[in-house]
Chain A
Amino acid sequence: MARRARLPRASRTVLRPPASVGRSVPRLEGLDKVTGRALYVDDLRVPGVLHGRTVRSTIARGRIKRVRLDPAFDWSGVVVADHRDIPGENLVALIEDDQPLLAAEEIHHAEEPILLLAHEDPERVEAATRAVRIEYEPLEPVLTIEDSLARKAPLYRDDNVFKNILIERGDVERGLAGSDLVIEGEYRCGHQEQLYIENNGMIAERTPDGGLLVRGSLQCPYYVHKALVRAFALPPDKVRIVQTVTGGGFGGKEEYPSMIGGHAALLAWKSGRPVKIVYDRLEDIAATTKRHPAAIKLRTGVRRDGTLVANAIDIVMDGGAYVTLSPVVLSRGAIHAAGPYRCPNVSIRARAVATNTPPNGAFRGFGAPQTQFAVECHMDRIAAALGLDPLELRRRNAYRLGDVTPTGQVLRESVGALEALETAARRARWAERRARHERENRDNEARERPAGLGGAAAGRRRGETSRNGAGPRANGRRLRRGIGLALAYHGAGFTGSGEVKLGSIAALDLSHDGRPRILSASTEIGQGTTTMFAQLVAETLGVPADFVAVETPDTGLVPDSGPTVASRTCMVVGGLLEKCARAMRERLELFAERPIRDARDFQRIARRFLAERGPLRFERGYEKPPEIEWDDDRYRGDAYGVFSYGCCVVEVEVDLDTGETRVLRTIATADIGKAIHPILAAGQIEGGTVQGLGYGLLEEVRWKDGRVWNHQLTNYIIPTSMDASPIEVVIVELPYSRGPFGAKGVGELPMDAPAPAIVAAIAHATGARIDEIPVTPERLLEGLRDGARRDGSRSSPGSRRGGKRS
């Protein structure tokens, strides 16, 4: 009754529906998360559940001679499964069918799963894992890129190369010969662990209809679906995959859930009971995928004024033991390898090689952070060799509208490279800060030179410096400060013909209570998919975002909108949803014979529609924009519909006594097209920047005989909030005509620039140019000690060769 009384208010004429896109509305699932109501996979209580564990190989390469269950242990109630129990094919279906779900005989990497155990009591099953004895016939493993290339042992086909890519534009050798200066450099980056907060976990159960239901923490429900259909030889409609609330992914839950999901399903299949497998941190770090390590060489010809003439790039990535996603990681890495710079002659040769380490996989950026780390470090080396300001060198070469990429893609619209660069430089007060750090570093060095122990002068000076805010010599410390920048770009969506092959579908229907409901397989993994999708639909329908329902990604309910990866969710899937919403609006307005006014009006019309006409559902599939062409065989054409651009400027302070680097201040600009939800977008940029900081400074996977040695949070070092600096984010919004409301991609871009920016800032502060990340204090002290990599002395204009290798 009270509702009726307020009716006149609803019938007021609303000139403009409340805008949703571009506003930072509250996250739809935020309250559940902060109040603890959200249930993650390990929170789910399933009656009769068994707890699953995985017994893994302790050697990196060899053969299993014998698997024995210790007879002294009480095995009653323990379910044991191995490769012979797999009803379908023993593989984790992805790109190539080379990775087994469980090792049968050959061991290709440490931590390879061999045996699965389950028991009602988690303590009993834990004890059971220690009562399994596996005898091996070990073989000498291949653990590095170099050993793989040298074919120390044959691991894959006859050359150990999973994938070869060659991208060519112009004539590189002629270009190099015709340049004023050729600069060479070689750069390396190591593994990086995704380190989502929630470890991998899955619950599997048999369904009454003879199928499987698998729920868990994942990014791509249809990847798991595809893998399980093959491993269990089930018809697709008998396998149902449901995402549970997921505590982060960063790519680490792109392909791996097919493995752990397959394991839980196998134990459930064999026991007939629901089975839960949740890794602890030790297992998750030791066994799951990492970012591909890479070794990258650049040979770059420039004119004296800094114009790039030719760039010859050679990339080798370590794929680990199986193909998994390496070909596509390599592809994205190769395409981005020349950076966001115009250059008429480019050749990019890229290889992914096999080693006996756990397969490397998807990680935010997908190959591009590695190659752009290299090219950005190289740009700074070029600038130093030419005596140019690194900002100026980039300014001269950065992509403009109409420029052509190494694959021959013409940049037709939304090219924000310069804007990202100039905005960052302005915000950072680049020239002023640069000059100031140089001046202060010189003063400090001069003060320290007598190697005396301070005394009166030092004391007085100290007072001075702290007054002007620099304080570079507190409590006997010898500190240097520097500023560095890096520019990057990142293609949104699947590479090349990927989106066409995916053929994503998203849908929008009406819920029983007359609300729009989003149906897609795109997952909320902390990045804001749910809210952003709701906003896109809400904006189009003229309703508030929280009026829109978002269905759980469940392969039994939602169409395959593709994986939640590749910065594609907003631009590609969001675009489909926007189209669905437009169609729905049209349909309902036609039905009502008038415009929809607001949410209440929408609901009234929708209910009437449901009552009179029945269900309403719109589905839209990906359609290739006609202007986009890609040739898979020749690797030529439009690699991506559009690129996002970002610049990162950091100021650091280096302690010369310890090699510790502290990031003092970070500016991150990002041209991502329209920011649908500015706070979430900024959150992506801040988070990616900190992850990039970890990549550049701290995060190093240490190995011992092919096994991860530091598989604990205490020794795999990611940055804490204390290690992060304040980050100023500036979003540049150059719209993309094919993105929803002009949106491009944001997820991965922020990962690309921070590491090289930090390396540049360290070089500016200390003169030591470190070509390998992370720049740990150990590596930096060594670099400072041998001084071999210092600038200036090695490459001078006019010489034919420059850089550290000359």
Chain B
Amino acid sequence: MRSALSTLEVVRPRSLDHALEALGRSVSGERLVPLAGGTDLFVYLNAGTPPGTRYLDLWGLRELRGIRVRDGGVRLGALTTFREIREHPVLGRRFPSLVAAAAEVGAWQIQNRATLAGNIANASPAGDSLPVLMAHDAKVDVRSARGAREVAFERLYRGYRELTVDADELITAVTLPFPPARSFPFFRKVGTRRAQSISKVVFSGLLALDRERRIAHVRLAYGSVAPVTLRARRAERALRGEPLAASVAARARAALAEDIAPIDDIRSSRDYRLAVAGNLLEQFLRAAAESRARR
């Protein structure tokens, strides 16, 4: 442990209001850093690079827990753990790619602690749930003592590890609309090994065909190939309105190279990421075609 733990302070709020109040007050002095499952924060503490010395422990806040199924979709409390996601029957049926992502976060021990909001707020471009949230047009509920607002997940990141959430705001929930009828969801994590691994490329797709078997709805979301998790909009455009054909896939793949900007880093290389991002796009389209053919 390279951080001086004796210098740290943890505030345990009784309620969400209390938490927001404390957070709001802290903005003028030494800021409170929200602490959820702690699975990201403890890594920084151990390495001696803590983001602050005062922490706001959210773990006991019931208001931030629970998965609720509603008419148009689901609402996941900020503290929803990946284990809860993994084991939720409705999510399993309606959002299989989210469940697949949850099952590949760390391993069981991490999934028991790691929260959805923590994954979002940690803002790593390698966060595994993020491409799924993006592919499903998720919305994020954000609150402060000043009030509440809803942010489209797509507009949550300003740049590398930078959120459009203010220092006095907390993420309280994430809502996901049910995907269009008969759509095909997809998730693929390419990590450094089969568990306890950070993504080198992570991809989530969602696609629905119209009656003419043309692509009516498509989302392609990637992590670890740019400073932020992003939608490959050019590639999406190349697919929209087109049939599931090899030539279309090739055009989309070419367009994808313009969407993403991978780099060489400690885990992988730019070349590898470019190639794999393209391959996963084709894999997704193949899988969608196979799944259609089976119906």
Contacts and interface: CB of A to CB of B under 8 A. Distances in A.
Nearest to B269: A778
Interface stretch (A161-169, A240-248, A524-532, A718-726): A718-726
Interface in B105-121: 107
Contacts of B272: 659, 777-778, 781-782
Interface stretch (B63-71, B150-158, B278-286): B278-286
Contacts of B290: 454-455, 458-459, 462, 475-476
A231 B276 CA distance: 54
A550 interface: no
A450 B269 CA distance: 30
Interface stretch (B127-135, B195-203, B229-237): B195-203
Nearest to A698: B193
A282 B47 contact: yes
Contacts of B280: 657-658
A107 to B, nearest CB: 23
A127 B4 contact: yes
A126 B198 contact: no
Contacts of A720: 107, 193-196
Given A657-B283, A781-B272, A722 B294 contact: no
Contacts of B246: 450-453
Nearest to B278: A657
B113 to A, nearest CB: 16
Contact of B276 (A460, A721, A781): A781
Interface string A308-336: 00000000000000000000000000000
A64 interface: no
B289 A717 contact: no
Greatest chain B CB density within 10 A among A454, A477, A698 is at: A454
Contacts of B46: 280
B261 interface: no
A456 B285 CA distance: 14
Contact of A710 (B1, B197, B266, B289): B266
Given A453-B245, A717-B193, A126 B266 contact: no
B171 to A, nearest CB: 24
A280 B193 contact: no
B286 A453 contact: yes
Interface string B247-286: 0010000000000000000111101100110011011111
Interface residues of A, number: 45
Contacts of A657: 276, 279-280, 282-283
A453 B190 CA distance: 22
A700 to B, nearest CB: 10
B293 interface: yes
A123 interface: yes
Given A452-B246, A456-B293, A781-B272, A715 B285 contact: no
A715 B286 contact: no
Contacts, number: 120
A662 interface: yes
Interface string A294-306: 0000000000000
Contacts of A634: none
A722 B195 contact: yes
Interface in B1-53: 1-2, 4-7, 43, 46-48
B12 to A, nearest CB: 23
Nearest to B249: A453
Nearest to A713: B196
Contacts of A453: 244-246, 249, 285-286, 288-289
Contact of A722 (B193, B200, B271, B276): B193
Contact of B266 (A457, A656, A660, A715): A715
Nearest to A785: B275
Interface string B185-213: 01000101111111011000000000000
Contacts of B279: 656-658
A445 B269 CA distance: 27
A702 interface: yes
A476 B285 CA distance: 8
Contact of B287 (A475, A656, A781): A475
A476 B293 contact: no
Instruction: Tell me the interface secondary structure of chain A in the complex.
Output: loop
B276 A458 contact: no
A73 interface: no
A715 B192 contact: yes
Nearest to B247: A451
Contacts of A282: 2, 47
A709 interface: yes
Contact of B289 (A455, A698, A722, A723): A455
A450 B286 CA distance: 12
Nearest to B290: A454
Contacts of A702: 266
Contact of B190 (A452, A658, A709): A658
A705 to B, nearest CB: 14
A35 interface: no
B192 A476 contact: no
A565 to B, nearest CB: 29
A468 interface: no
Contacts of A458: 286, 289-290, 293
A76 interface: no
Nearest to A458: B290
B192 A123 contact: no
Nearest to A710: B266
Given A453-B289, A454-B289, A778 B268 contact: yes
B293 A455 contact: yes
Interface string A690-710: 000000001000100000011
Contacts of B291: 459
B23 to A, nearest CB: 27
A714 interface: yes
A220 to B, nearest CB: 30
Nearest to A697: B193
B228 to A, nearest CB: 21
Nearest to A656: B279
Contact of A781 (B192, B275, B285): B275
Contacts of A280: 1-2, 46
A460 B290 CA distance: 9
A129 to B, nearest CB: 9
A775 to B, nearest CB: 13
A460 B294 CA distance: 7
A660 B199 CA distance: 13
Contacts of B5: 123
Interface in A714-738: 714-715, 717, 719-723
Given A455-B293, A657-B276, A714 B198 contact: yes
A698 B200 CA distance: 14
Contacts of A777: 190, 200, 272, 276
Contacts of B289: 452-455, 458
A456 B246 CA distance: 15
Nearest to A123: B4
A457 B294 CA distance: 9
Nearest to A460: B293
Nearest to B192: A717
Contacts of B43: 714
Contacts of A450: 246
Give 7 nearest A-B pairs by CB, closest first: A476-B287, A459-B293, A657-B279, A476-B286, A454-B289, A453-B289, A123-B4
28 contacts: A126-B4, A280-B1, A452-B245, A454-B286, A455-B290, A455-B293, A456-B293, A457-B293, A458-B289, A459-B290, A459-B293, A462-B294, A475-B283, A476-B282, A476-B283, A476-B284, A476-B287, A656-B279, A657-B283, A658-B190, A715-B192, A717-B193, A720-B194, A722-B195, A723-B193, A723-B194, A777-B272, A781-B272
Given A280-B1, A722-B194, 7 more contacts: A123-B6, A454-B290, A455-B289, A477-B283, A658-B201, A659-B272, A720-B107
Interface of B: 1-2, 4-7, 43, 46-48, 107, 186, 190, 192-198, 200-201, 244-246, 249, 266-269, 271-272, 275-276, 279-280, 282-291, 293-294
